[in-house]
Amino acid sequence: MSFWQMGGYADYIWPAYGVSALGLLVAIVWTLKAYADAKARLKALEEKKP
Amino acid sequence: MSAFTALLSRDLRLAARSGGGAALALGFFALVATLVPLGIGADLNLLSRVAGGVLWVAALLAALLSLDRLFQGDFEDGSLDVIALSPLPLESVSLAKILAHWLSTGLPLTVLSPLLALLFNLPASATLVLFVSLLIGTPAVSAVGAIGASLTLSLRRGGLILPLIVLPLLTPAVIFGAGSVAAKMDGMAPSGGLALLAAFAVAACLLSPFAAAGAVRLNLTN
Amino acid sequence: MNILYRYANPREFMRLSGALLPFTAAAAVLAILAGLVMGFSVPPDYQQGMTVTIMFIHVPAAIVAEGTYALIAVLSLFSLVWRHPLSDVAARAAAPLGALFTALGLVTGSLWGRPMWGTYWVWDARLTSFLLLLFLYLGYMALWNAIEDEIRAARACAILALIGAVNLPIIVYSVEWWNTLHQGESIISGKLAPVFLWPLLVMMAGYGLLFLTLWMIRIRTEILNRRSRTLMLGGA
């Protein structure tokens, strides 16, 4: 049996890892984007009123 | 007449005046009890086995119906500010409102439950357990519900948030209440579940006036 | 208390988190990668076969989910009793992360149980309590979004979180009681052989560090947004 078949349990193991990876990735991207947006917005406002 | 009793009878009168008091909750309870067999089939054997859970959940939902108005009405017309200034502490105000809610909702639902249990072919001994479990458990519903009501009293469209907050907190009541009925049906003693339910109800009734009062104060002062 | 108040200053927090973040982020990535390698190197379990590898992403998610709720409860206490300024921000920042990890715990738990019990959902005491935890998170986030006034929302949610925290052990106990009544099955049983323990611990560390990293970034984001709002309202 290959590594990918995971002893026959591939149908459960890979979706579990897949969903977890997806969920964590979305969280990371979302968090970083919100932070970048907040930084950009603050920078723009600070430049408008010196 | 003490301030507590005055507030209690006022709330009871208000409940009776708007929406016929218990009638709305009782109607909802009966409707759900009618719809479930229509949904799952008329197998009386099956119905008697699910009766405890179905009737408990239905009663719980029916009791939730009038909860959002518990503090909201008085908040909106300014009465709550006046009540808060009175010598009666907010904790007692909350307790009075919880009691009024139970008397006008939980208690009537409990009284109706044996009749609805007939629809589900629940045996008499289990029906008695159901009655007792609702009698003990519905005060907990009013108490925990009051916490949700006080937290959401400033929301005009707080409608669905209140059940979302309150229902998870009432899980133990459903489990112990319906579980007692199930235990009786399985030939076991229901006393374990009923005792746990009673403990939960006592704790809820003792603690929630303080939490509710805190939430009311929060909404009045900010 | 003084040490806490030192970091209550947003500027101090920005400084501290700015220093910590590169380390926590790097450590999180390393730990998770190491955990994955270790996890997939294990031999099949006697009972569960290779599905034991799901444990390495289920248990860490569950622990972070439960730990986050405890964290929010403690922060709520600080917010209500000591009026610690950053507690509100920190609690609000943690909640969606906690909800996410709870959801991940549910999905992985479901997939873990499926090969064993044949169905995608098992009314296992742990999974059921977990589902209720998700509802507690959703209610908390919904209440925060519903109340317009920021301070009121923070205080109301603090009360709700504390009520939830007090109630949670009761809920867990009642679900376990319910489970024995209906003779449910249990997903996790007994002791863990060392070969499975180490990947699990490493993944737990990785998930914890990842939460910490994302949480700090979210708090920084909120601090920046508050500064923006102050500027927009014409403040200094």
A40 touches chain C (CB under 8 A): no
Residues of B in Cβ contact (< 8 Å) with C166: 207
For chain B, domain boundaries: 3-221
Give chain B's largest Cα–Cα span.
Answer: 57
- How confident is the model at residue C214, as a pLDDT? 97
Q: At what angle are helices B191-221 and C150-181 packed, to 10 degrees?
A: 180
pLDDT in tens, C167-185: 999 998 998 888 877 655 5
> Alpha-carbon distance C75 to B2, whole Å?
40
Partners of residue A27 in chain C, C-beta under 8 Å: 97, 100, 214
Q: What is the DSSP string of C28-87?
A: HHHHHHHHHHHHHTSPPBTTTBTTHHHHHHHHHHHHHHHHHHHHHHHHHHHHHHS--HHH
Cα distances (angstroms) measured from residue C187 to each of A46, B113, C182: 55, 37, 15
Q: In the predicted model, is pLDDT for residue B97 greater than 90?
A: yes
Q: Which residues of C touch A28 (CB under 8 A)?
A: 214
DSSP state string for C175-189: HHHHHHHTT---SS-
Quick one: how many helices (H) and strands (E) in chain C? 7, 0
Helix (H, G, I), strand (E, B) or coil at C148: coil
Interface predicted TM-score of the whole assembly (ipTM), two decimals: 0.89
The packing angle between helices B161-169 and B44-64, to 10°, is 120
pTM check: above 0.80: yes
Q: Judge contact between A24 and C210, C-beta under 8 A.
A: yes
* Spatial contact of B170 and B144, defined as CB atoms under 8 Å apart: yes
Range scoring the smallest mean pLDDT among B120-124, B192-196, C124-128 = C124-128
Task: Write down which chains contact chain B via at least 3 CB pairs under 8 A.
Answer: C
Residue A32 Cα, gap to closest chain C Cα (Å): 7
- What is the phi/psi pair of residue C49, to 5°? 65, -145
Mean pLDDT of chain A: 88
- Interior/surface letters B109-121, b for 16+ CB within 10 angstroms, e for the rest: bbebbbebbebbb
Instruction: Note whether A45 contacts C232, CB cutoff 8 Å.
Output: yes
pLDDT value at residue C186: 56
Q: Which of A13, A27, A46 faces C50 most closely, judged by CB atoms?
A: A13
Mean pLDDT of C62-79: 95
Q: Which of C41, C91, C37, C47 is nearest to C69 (CA)?
A: C91
